[in-house]
Structure 1
Amino acid sequence: MQAGKLVLHESGMDLHDTLNKIHSLFANRAQQKDLHFTYTITPETPRYVLTDETRFLQVLSNLTSNAIKFTNEGEVSIHVDAEPLKKGQEYMLKVRVKDSGIGITDEDQKLLFTDFTQLDNSSTKTFGGTGLGLAISKQLTHLLGGDIGVESIPNDGSTFWFTIKVKKANSEEVEAQLQRMQLQNAEAEVLDFTPYVLLVDDNQINQKVAFKLLERLGCRTDVASNGYEAIDRALNNGYDMVFMDIQMPEMDGVTATSIIQEKLGNDSPPVVAMTAYSMREDAEKFMSQGMDDYISKPVKSSDLYKVIMRWHELNWKRDKAGGLTAAIDDDSEDDTIPVIDLAITEQLKEIGGAEFARQLYVEFEQEAGELLEEAKKELEAQQYKSILSTLHQLKGTGFTLGINQVAELAKILEHDIKHDQYDNVRSNFAKLLAQYENYRKTYKEIIL
Structure 2
Amino acid sequence: MKLSKFSNYPLKLKLLLVPAVATFSFVAYLIYSSLVLSGGNALLKEIRDAQFPTLYAAGENLKSFDGVVESLNAAAATGEVDYLEGAKAKSSEILNRYDSMERMDPTHTNEIEKLKSDFNTFYILAFNVAQRMMAKKNPPSQQEINELRELRNAYSLSAVSYRDAAEKEFQETIHKAIRRSDRAQGSGAIIGSVMLFVIAILTLLVNRGIVVLERVVENRNKMLLLVNSELEQEIQKLKSAEEARSHAEAASHIKDEFLANMSHELRTPMNAVIGLSHLCLQTELSDKQQDYLQKIHSSAKSLLGILNDILDVSKIEAGKMELDRIAFELDEVLGNLSTILWAKSHEKNLELLLETAPDVPSVLVGDPLRLGQVLINLAGNAVKFTAKGEVVVSIDLEKEEGDQVVLRFAVKDTGIGMSQSEIDKLFRPFTQADTSITRKFGGTGLGLTISKRLIEMMGGKIWVESTPGSGSKFIFTANFLKAKGRENAPRTEFAGFDGMRVLAVDDSENSLSILKNYLESFSFDVSVASNGRSALSTVRKANKDGKPFSLAILDWKMPEMDGLELARELHAMTEAENKPKILLIAGYGQNGTPALRNNKVVDGVLEKPFNQNKLFDAISRISGPDQSATGKFRITGAQFNPLLVSQVRGAHLLLVEDNEINQQVAQELLEGFGIKVAVAENGEEAIARLNEEQFDGVLMDMQMPVMDGISATREIRKNPKFATLPIIALTANVYVSEQNAFLAAGMNDHIGKPLDPDRLVATLAKWLRPARKAETVQPPPVAAISAPEALPDLPGVKVATSVRRIGGNVALYYSLLDKFRVNQLSTADQIRAALAAGDAKTAERLAHTLKGIAGTLGAESLQQQAELLENNIKNGSLGDIESLLAQANQQIRNLIASIDLAIEARTS
- TM superposition score normalised by structure 2: 0.21
Higher RCO (CA < 8 A, seq sep 6+): 1
Is the radius of gyration larger for structure 1 or structure 2? 2
- TM superposition score normalised by structure 1: 0.41
Name the structure with the higher helix share. 2
Name the structure with the higher strand share. 1
